[in-house]
A = this chain, B = another copy of it.
């Protein structure tokens, strides 16, 4: 059994940050669960465009308000506590945080922790890291 506490991991190297977001990696590929699980905070006022071409991701809003636009269809959906979006079609999307957004994210295949967002908003597929 693995026990981890977000509040203890926040200040460690399991927390990956950029200017406008922090992602605490609660579970990564090497935990052997077959998915990774992150608590990600997007800063109020920030906007993020991602395109996970090689991963499925679901995102559940724990706190905060914002919106997500599906760049394929142009549709925008409100994000508030209790709302989940799931990128079942590897959807290209933009997330906007009106307030700090705290989100519980699951990735399949699991993120290894070594990925960086590429110019196209994707993470590389896992086997590119295995080479």
Contacts and interface: CB of A to CB of B under 8 A. Distances in A.
Contacts of A3: 68, 77, 83-85
A27 to B, nearest CB: 6
Given A3-B77, A91-B1, A106-B106, A58 B33 contact: yes
30 contacts: A1-B68, A1-B73, A1-B75, A1-B89, A1-B93, A2-B84, A2-B85, A2-B86, A3-B68, A3-B77, A3-B83, A3-B85, A4-B83, A4-B86, A5-B82, A6-B84, A26-B58, A26-B60, A26-B84, A31-B88, A33-B58, A33-B86, A33-B106, A33-B108, A34-B34, A34-B56, A35-B56, A37-B84, A37-B86, A37-B106
